[in-house]
């Protein structure tokens, strides 16, 4: 069984982005870019399934500009066998990415597709669910445990108040939550090995997908600033302030 | 122009997040209908009919809808979707699971986590962990949105008298089956609805200390317990307690952050709280930059003192 894993190149989670002064977006020139953290968890899970012998091949996919090749090389350093870049400089919204991935699912016929639940740039949390809809596949979102048993995927999901377990027929789409696994550190030998793994490039046109955005960003602004309050010297003062000034207890 | 709100419920009653979503739907203009898709959910449908501002309740009842499986709930929404200009979900684990599936089936974009309705096709939503606010306009015929509940006041749960209309329930998908669930039982208020939240970070040091230190404070205040991602990552607290960009977004009257440094991802989840208290022994901790009251102290001494002083 093949596994398809999608990875997104995003502004590193340690970077605090700045809104551009003309309100057209955020300034991402010259900031550090990394693989979306939830996608790293997705790659790690796919590689672990391969190490357990459940999966035969792990294919990493990224959609975006040429630089996404770096993200794909990282995925291959973690253990993906090969990579596909859907190269475009257009703005890609989740529906467009889901359509591109659907085209690749049709072509590669994976038994499982694993995605991060959410990208930390646009915070959408949509692509996995959309792919499942377009490909007419069952979905296991926000997974904290993935097991392949008797030709089915047993997915434990993080839900409000606890967890639930679903049994999905294969192929299926899974999106990862935080506790699914802890991604390994990539080692230098594996980075070197990843450079020799195959990386194929296709275009949205070649896949027959129109990626035109459906949602127009009119402007991007700074959020209302919350200013720092005061430091209190001790617990007694804190309690007094909460009772008489803030009146919240 | 009519909006459809997909109710969150446990078949017996309507969850609070639905009330905030109704408010957002009313701001989109036009009538607001509510879909209650469940199993033996007559009581929930009746409760939905009481919500102020709701014009009609659609009630679909069947085994396929018992556990809210995304495949089946999506099919149910699609069965009625053609009458609606807007389809709204609360931006909860449940809503986020289904809304994108509905949008993709309708071949429309989805707008996540709206914090404001500017006009029927224009919405505001946070991006980059709330470090920027995007104003976005949908060009699609149907607007499918999820609503950040903390940014909309709840509609009154009573006072309405909407008609309840039964709609045929969809058949179950053969692709997905519910196996079971483990829901942590406690008497605490729900994190996203709590008036007071006591939240702990990595400084607690262990799961035992996390509970030992924070539980008595939460008990004393009748508060919900939250955690930073660092505390969840370290295994001190359950994942569904995580407050932040990729966890719960909260806005209580009082948020007490104990031993939380205040990474931007955490601040994204709690900076709309009315009053923020930070207890941290590091004077440089970023949490102090958003705290109304900062106490520079070791939480292991300060929290017990606080409990004693309350």
Q: Rounded to an integer, what distance in angstroms lies between the CA atom of residue A118 and that of residue B270?
A: 19
Q: What is the Cα–Cα distance from A126 to A109, expressed in whole angstroms?
A: 22
**Res B52 pLDDT > 90:** yes
In this structure, are residues B221 and B198 in contact, taking their beta carbons and an 8 Å threshold?
yes
Q: Do the Cβ atoms of A93 and B109 come within 8 Å?
A: yes
What's the pLDDT at B100?
98
- For residues A72 and A85, what is the distance between their CA atoms, to the nearest angstrom? 8
- In this structure, the strands spanning B86-90 and B275-280 are unpaired
Residue A197: which pLDDT band, with cuts at 50, 70 and 90?
very high
279-308 in chain B: CB under 8 A from chain A: 288-297, 302, 305-306
| Pick from A69, A94, A32: nearest CA to A194 | A69
Cα-Cα end-to-end distance for chain B: 52
Task: Tell whether the model's pLDDT for residue B185 goes beyond 90.
Answer: no
Partner B contacted by A150 (CB < 8 A): no
Contact across the interface for B129 and A162, Cβ inside 8 Å: no
For residues B169-185, average pLDDT: 94
Q: Is B130 helix (H, G, I), strand (E, B) or coil?
A: helix
Whether the predicted pLDDT of A20 surpasses 80: yes
DSSP string computed for A76-96? HHHT-SEEEEEE--S---HHH
Mean pLDDT throughout A126-132? 98
The secondary element (H helix, E strand) that includes residue B191 is none
Average pLDDT over residues B188-212: 95
Average pLDDT over all residues of chain A: 96
Let me know: does B114 contact B147? Beta carbons within 8 Å.
yes
Question: Taking chain A, what is the end-to-end CA distance rounded to the nearest angstrom?
Answer: 58
Q: Which of A70-79, A158-167, B38-47, B220-229 has the lowest mean pLDDT?
A: A158-167
| Test mutation, B128, B173, B190, B278, chain A, max A CBs within 10 A | B128
Which of B111, B274, B309 minimises the CB distance to A248? Answer: B274
* Residues of chain B neighbouring A248 (CB-CB closer than 8 A): 196, 253-254, 274-275
Closest CA to A248 of B191, B275, B122, B10: B275
Cβ within 8 Å, pair B70-A139: yes
Q: Is the link from the previous residue into A171 a cis peptide, with omega within 30 of 0? A: yes
Q: What is the pLDDT of residue B193?
A: 86
Residue B302 dihedral angles phi and psi, to the nearest 5°: -70, -40
Under the banding of pLDDT at 50, 70 and 90, the label for residue A151 is very high
Interface of A with B in 51-80 (CB under 8 A): none
Give the number of other Cβ atoms within 10 Å of residue B7's Cβ. Answer: 29
**Tens digits of per-residue pLDDT, A2-12?**
999 999 999 99
pLDDT band at B137 (very low <50, low <70, confident <90, very high): very high
Indicate the pLDDT class of residue B301, thresholds 50, 70 and 90: very high
Specify the DSSP class assigned to residue A226. Answer: P
Nearest to B239 among A167, A179, A228 (CB): A179
For residues B193 and B250, what is the distance between their CA atoms, to the nearest angstrom? 8
Q: How confident is the model at residue A181 (pLDDT cuts 50, 70, 90)?
A: very high
β-bridge mates for residue A155, sequence order: A146, A166
pLDDT, residue A1, reads: 95
Residue of B136, B294, B302 with shortest CB distance to A235? B302
Please state which of the ranges A46-50, A144-148, B49-53, B246-250 shows the lowest mean pLDDT: B246-250
pLDDT value for A228:
81
Cβ contact, residue pair B126, A137, below 8 Å: no
The phi and psi torsions of B139 (rounded to 5 degrees) equal -100, 5
Count of CB atoms within 10 A of residue A162's CB?
15
How many Å apart are CA B308 and CA B310, to the nearest integer? 6
On the question of pLDDT at B255 being above 80, the answer is yes
Residue A160 has pLDDT above 90, yes or no: no
What DSSP line would sit under A163-211, residue for residue? EEEEEEESSEEEEE-GGG--PPPPPHHHHHHHHTS-EEEE-TTTTT---
CA distance A96 to A131: 10
Q: Which helix (H) or strand (E) holds A220?
A: strand A215-221
Residue B168, chain A, CB below 8 Å: the answer is: no
Average pLDDT over residues B74-78: 98
B207 in reach of chain A (CB within 8 A): no
User: What ipTM goes with this model?
Assistant: 0.95
The whole-angstrom distance between B157's CA and the closest CA on chain A is 21
Average pLDDT over residues A72-85: 98
What residue in B sits closest to A25 (Cα-Cα)?
B134
Q: A130 and B71: CB-CB below 8 Å?
A: no
Alpha carbons B62 and B172: distance in angstroms, whole number: 9
Looking only at the bridges linking them, the beta strands covering A2-6 and A112-116 are parallel
Q: Taking a C-beta distance cutoff of 8 angstroms, is the pair B146, B95 a contact? A: yes
**What CA–CA distance (Å, rounded) separates A17 from A220?**
12
State the smallest CA–CA distance between residue B201 and chain A in angstroms.
16
Q: What is the pLDDT of residue B237?
A: 93
Closest Cα in chain A to B105: A133
Q: A150 to chain B: which residues are within 8 Å by CB?
A: none
As given in the structure block, the two tokens for residue A196 are 């020799």
Pairwise CB contact (< 8 Å): B98 & A221: no
CB contacts < 8 Å between A and B, how many? Answer: 252
Preferred mutation among A129, A167, A211 to probe B, highest tally of B CBs within 10 A: A129
Closest residue on chain B to A98 (Cα)? B104
pTM for this structure? 0.94
Over 80: is that where the pLDDT of B186 sits? no
Find chain A residues with C-beta within 8 A of B293's C-beta: 229-232, 238, 241-242, 246
With CB atoms and an 8 Å threshold, state whether A248 touches B305: no
Residues of chain A positioned with their CB less than 8 A from the CB of B108: 95, 214
What's the rounded Cα separation, in Å, for the pair B98 and B114?
16
Average pLDDT of every residue of chain B? 96
Q: What is the pLDDT of residue B104?
A: 98
**In sequence order, what DSSP letters do the residues of B133-156 get, joined into one string?**
EEEEEE-SSSEEEEE-GGGSPPPP
Using the beta-carbon criterion (under 8 Å), do A239 and B134 form an inter-chain contact?
no
> Hey, CA dihedral for A101, A107, A110, A111, is it positive or negative?
positive
CA distance B267 to B199: 12
Looking at beta carbons, which residues of chain B come within 8 Å of A129?
Answer: 70, 96-101, 104
């Amino acid at each position: 069984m093949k596994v398809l894993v999608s990875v997104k190149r995003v502004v590193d989670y340690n970077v605090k982005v700045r809104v551009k002064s003309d309100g057209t977006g955020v300034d991402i020139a010259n900031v550090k870019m990394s693989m979306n953290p939830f996608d790293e968890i997705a790659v790690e899970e796919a590689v672990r399934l391969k190490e357990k012998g459940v999966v035969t091949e792990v294919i990493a996919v990224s959609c975006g500009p040429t630089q996404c090749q770096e993200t794909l090389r990282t995925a291959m350093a973690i253990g993906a066998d090969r990579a596909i870049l859907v190269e475009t400089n257009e703005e890609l919204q989740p529906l467009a990415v889901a359509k591109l991935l659907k085209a690749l699912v049709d072509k590669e016929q994976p038994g499982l597709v694993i995605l991060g639940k959410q990208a930390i740039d646009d915070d959408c949390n949509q692509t996995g669910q959309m792919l499942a809809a377009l490909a007419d596949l069952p979905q296991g979102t926000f997974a904290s445990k993935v097991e392949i048993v008797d030709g089915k995927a047993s997915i434990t999901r993080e839900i409000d108040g606890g967890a639930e377990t679903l049994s999905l027929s294969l192929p299926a789409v899974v999106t990862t939550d935080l506790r699914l696994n802890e991604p390994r550190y990539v080692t230098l030998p594996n980075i070197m090995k990843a450079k020799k793994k195959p990386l194929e490039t296709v275009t949205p046109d070649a896949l027959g997908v129109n990626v035109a955005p459906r949602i127009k960003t009119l402007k991007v602004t700074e959020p209302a600033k919350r200013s720092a309050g005061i430091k209190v010297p001790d617990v007694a003062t804190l309690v007094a302030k909460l009772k008489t000034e803030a009146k919240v207890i | 122009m009519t909006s459809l709100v997909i109710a969150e419920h446990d078949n017996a009653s309507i969850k609070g997040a639905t009330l905030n979503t109704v408010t957002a739907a009313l701001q989109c203009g036009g009538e607001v209908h509510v879909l209650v898709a469940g199993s033996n959910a007559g009581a929930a449908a009746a409760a939905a009919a009481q919500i102020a501002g709701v014009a009609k309740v659609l009630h679909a009842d069947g085994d396929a809808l018992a556990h809210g499986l995304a495949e089946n709930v999506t099919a149910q929404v699609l069965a009625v979707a053609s009458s609606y200009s807007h389809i709204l979900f609360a931006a909860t684990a449940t809503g986020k699971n289904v809304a994108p599936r509905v949008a993709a089936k309708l071949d429309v974009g989805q707008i996540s986590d709206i914090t404001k309705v500017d006009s029927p096709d224009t919405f505001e939503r946070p991006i980059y962990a709330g470090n920027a606010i995007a104003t976005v306009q949908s060009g699609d015929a149907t607007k499918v949105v999820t609503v950040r509940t903390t940014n909309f006041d709840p509609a009154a749960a009573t006072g309405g008298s909407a008609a309840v209309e039964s709609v045929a329930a969809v058949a179950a998908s053969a692709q997905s089956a519910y196996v079971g669930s483990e829901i942590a039982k406690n008497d605490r208020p729900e994190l996203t609805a709590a008036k007071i939240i006591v939240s702990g970070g990595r400084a607690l040091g262990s799961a035992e200390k996390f509970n030992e230190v924070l539980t008595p404070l939460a008990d004393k205040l009748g508060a919900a317990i939250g955690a930073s991602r660092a505390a969840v990552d370290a295994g001190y607290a359950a994942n569904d307690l995580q407050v932040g960009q990729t966890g719960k977004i909260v806005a209580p009257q009082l948020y007490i952050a104990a031993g939380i440094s205040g990474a931007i991802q955490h601040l994204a989840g709690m900076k709309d709280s009315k009053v923020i208290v930070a207890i941290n022994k590091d004077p440089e901790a970023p949490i102090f930059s958003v705290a109304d009251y900062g106490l520079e102290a070791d939480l292991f001494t300060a929290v017990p003192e606080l409990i004693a002083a309350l």
